Chain A
Amino acid sequence: MSLLLGPTDFRMLEGLRLAPRRPFHGRIRGERITRRRGVSIEFADYREYTEGDDLRHLDWNVLARLQHPVIKTYQDEEDLAVYLMVDVSASMQFGEPAKATLARDTAAALAYVALCGQDAVVPIAIGGPRQPLVTYRGRSAYARVAGWLERDLAAAGPSNLAQSLREFARQNARPGFIALLSDGLDPAAANELRVLGGRGFEVNLIQILASEEIDPDLEGDLRLLDAESGAQVELTANRDALGVYAENLRTHNEGLEAACRRFGGRYHLVRSDTPLSSLIRDHLRPGGWFQK
């Protein structure tokens, strides 16, 4: 079974921890500090003692000095839900190398980092058939996540990015950190990202585009066939048409970025031929994806 990443990748990822911009409630005790008061070594505040409080948390020094019982409270530490959303729509097969390849490798790297941080990793194939959400925890689960990425992603059929995001939003999954690896080439994608943000998710989008999508090399009288919807557009590819395309792409990408940033998420646009190490070193690290 392939682990998708090489030894140098693992060494690079060793010691990293995902850094969500805000805390999330967890389901089980983990290594993430939450807003919830709980038991940990992280002091949070004082409060009045009430009957039933655990006397172990009574501040005896204050009681001795002021003759008034106060209880020390601590921040709880819970696990973080990391939703690894990998776009498996047909458009991800474009590019050299294919956009899907970088998306899969990036998902594996983020899964490894999350699992090492005792976070709950939920890999989701976006744009494919709906599948039950499976949560993986612990470093040992990486091999299963890698296997899923390699096996199930390749088997995923063509679907719609926005529709998949809409269906995920309806599943009432607990809010958490979403790492969406997609080309975002769906006119309704920005709306769905805003919906997810509104439901408490931190949406972090890594938009992967092929070079020919950023600078298309088309010429002549063409009939363009949509790889996903099968729609057709007749086009005379000239300077004017290419100019309009570049403007439309820029507007679309700005919409995606705005949708991510509105609820505190992050947005990165990378080419499909970007090496994984460069993506982590030049984009994710400077972008604050990992704790320092």
Chain B
Amino acid sequence: MSLIAPAALLWLIPLAGIIIALYLLKMRRRDVRVPATFLWPAMTYEIRANALFQKLKFSWLMVLQLLALAAIVFALARPQMLQRGLGGAVTVVVIDTSASMSATDVKPSRFGEAIRQAEGLISQAQSTDRIAVIEAGSVPRVVAALSGEPSRLRRALAELRPSDADGDVGEALRLAASLAANQPSARIVLLSDGVFPEVSNFSPGKAEVVFPRIGTSGENVAISAFAMADTPRGRELFYGVRNFGREAAGVRLQLFADGKLFDSKSIELKPQQTLGETVRAPAGAKLLEAKLEGGDALAADDYAVALSDPGASVRVLLVTSGNLFLERALTLEPRVVLDKSATVPTSGAWDVAVLDGITAERIPARTVLRFGASGRGLNLRKPTFAAGTSGQPLLRGVELSDVYVDLAESGAAPAGAQVVAEFQGGTPAIMTRQASGRREVIVAFRPLDSDFPLQVGFPIFLANALDWLVPPSSRGTTMVVPAGRTISLPVLSDATVSLKGPTGSITLTPTNGSVLLRDLRTVGKYEIGDRTLHVILRSDLESAIAPQDRVVLGGTPVASTSAITRFADLWRWVALLGLFILAGEWWLFARRS
């Protein structure tokens, strides 16, 4: 037990002294003449004092008054006691709803355990405690603002659903820190398995971060790669299966072509082993699916889809040191399956590599969209953008006259390049090139060195560039979408459309000729109108479900702990005891009076 304000105990000395001094006062009694005094008992209760001092006598009233005073002064000292519990006076609960939380190594699942712990926290909360709940999903959100109403908090918890998508725990923690800012005795409770990247740019302030790790096992086998490519030998299917666990695992891989099983094989994997194979795809198959059977802890990564139409799904590698505009604009494109890297990887196979000011000799992609440096450096000239060449499909719907560029390359166009747009003065600004079967779009400036990303035409330009780099062979009605992605789909009419998915059906209302799909959280097949969406999870991070004993938040390692304690404020109970003693003292006084 500890005291928040131990100095308040000093009040006990003068106040107790006053009470004792009052009992030293002698009572003045009324004289009454009676026939005989021998019948009367000598029963005196000195409950009033109105004369000079006398010798201190024992009095239960005095004892009770001193006890009540001691209790009240003790309450003013704010006693606290350490007890088991997650919450604090202000608690922000961050519940990780990423794909790894759907693992079933704890029953019913890690997500279910997180909800159970959150409900326990709400149940244990005192009446003055306030709790907020934040969902750390692909898009973090506050599902319950700071509140002391258990029913409201439980309703918010009931609305939470697990997701098969990546989670953004960092953003959720930053949101939690802002909620807990300037709150005394605040605590951020992260209900997660710790399967998320290191969180940067996070400071909890005065709040305490508590991480009760959820999950027990990291045994999981996932389909790490699944793609189809046309080769000189014909159409081939490549798949990769990886064991993320620490023990050997055996699974059965089933391959389907247009819903029909065409291959099945048992695979034995050593710990951390990845097995990749190439098989010939059935001729004419449009939709190829892979399913793993082995009953591991995470089911979402046991399913993969590949489409025969290469334009239906575009694998894009974004190489950047950080460009939110590019990332957002690319993810808005429904065909894009985006991978992000700070450096150019040495291996891999992408349809498009988007280089944001990065120079590389060997690029593992069929086509390249290059922004900025092409090996000649930048100068500090401040070119003004000129109008682009009309009629170019790359600039369809893009207005360049309002774009201003701060820094750009000053050199001439590379060999074989066709200038699509140029600066005033004739310096090439946007070029296209086709060399040895590789298409390339060259933009002579980085987006962040201009106001182009702020223009309406920027995402349109990116869509045009992707269409030019990877032309769709046909307008397919089937797409593969990563889980958690928000995409926009064009629709023909403004009538409401129905989205049927593995978790049910919802109705969507189009806006400006397109519908925004936000609820593709669960892996599986979705149908909207005549389109079919296959939502998949392909994330090595989420598949590596081993719960972490330590997470790094804002550069500070936070260790998980199973026995989390909190300081429970006892002053109310002590004050109540004081009032109870006072009531007893009053009862005794009234009885003796």
Tell me whether B328 is interfacial, beta carbon within 8 Å. Answer: no
Q: Which of A181-220 contact B (CB under 8 A)?
A: 183, 185-187, 210, 213, 218, 220
Contact check, A186 vs B45: say whether CB atoms are below 8 A apart: no
Is B283 an interface residue, CB under 8 A from the partner? Answer: no
Shortest CB-to-CB span from B515 to chain A, Å, is 84
Given A183-B35, A227-B35, 19 new contacts (CB under 8 A): A221-B27, A221-B30, A221-B46, A221-B47, A222-B31, A223-B30, A223-B31, A223-B32, A224-B34, A225-B37, A227-B33, A227-B34, A234-B42, A236-B44, A236-B45, A236-B593, A248-B38, A249-B39, A252-B39
Does A228 have its Cβ within 8 Å of any Cβ on chain B? Answer: yes
Bound CA–CA A265/B592 (angstroms): 42
With CB as the reference atom, state the residue of chain B lying closest to A240. B43
Among A223, A245, A249, chain B packs the most CB atoms within 10 A around the CB of A223
Q: Say yes or no: A241 contacts B37, CB within 8 Å.
A: no
Q: Chain B interface (Cβ within 8 Å of chain A)? A: 27-48, 591-593
A residues near B42, Cβ cutoff 8 Å = 233-235
Give complex CA distance A222, B40 in Å.
11
Q: Which of A226, A239, A240 contacts B34 (CB 8 A)?
A: A226
CB of A191 to closest CB in B, whole Å: 14
If A218-B32, A236-B45, A238-B45 touch, does A224 touch B40 (CB 8 Å cutoff)? yes
CB pair A220 B30 closer than 8 Å: yes
Residues on the B chain within 8 Å of A186, using CB: 36
Q: Which 5 A-B pairs have the closest CB atoms?
A: A91-B35, A185-B36, A223-B29, A226-B37, A244-B41
Interface size on A, residues (CB 8 A): 35
Across the interface, do A94 and B41 meet the contact criterion of CB distance under 8 Å? Answer: no
Q: Which residues of A contact B40 (CB under 8 A)?
A: 224, 233, 235, 241, 244-245, 248
CA–CA, A239 and B41, complex, Å: 12
A135 close to B (CB within 8 Å): no
What is the distance, in angstroms, from B160's C-beta to the closest C-beta of chain A? 64
Residue A64 interfacial (CB < 8 Å): no
Contact in complex: B35, A224 (CB < 8 Å): no
Q: 22 A–B contact pairs at CB < 8 A? A: A90-B35, A94-B35, A185-B35, A185-B39, A221-B27, A221-B28, A221-B44, A222-B29, A222-B32, A223-B30, A225-B37, A227-B34, A232-B37, A233-B37, A235-B44, A236-B592, A238-B43, A238-B45, A240-B592, A241-B41, A244-B40, A245-B41
User: A41 — which chain B residues lie within 8 A by C-beta?
Assistant: none
A238 to B593, CA, bound (A): 6
Cβ proximity bits A228-267 to B, threshold 8 Å, 1 near / 0 not: 1101111110111100110011001000000000000000
A197 nearest CB across to chain B (Å): 23
Query: Contacts A220-B30, A236-B47 known; A227 to B36 CB distance under 8 Å?
Result: yes
When distances are taken between beta carbons in the complex, the residues of chain B under 8 Å from A226 are 34, 36-38
Q: Is the pair B39, A248 in contact by a Cβ cutoff of 8 Å?
A: yes
Cα distance A248–B47 when bound, in Å? 25
Q: A236-B592, A238-B591, A238-B592 are in contact. Are A225 and B33 (CB under 8 A)?
A: yes
Chain A contacts of B31 at CB under 8 A? 222-223, 225
B32 contacts A234, C-beta separation under 8 Å: no
A94-B27 Cα distance, complex, nearest whole Å: 28
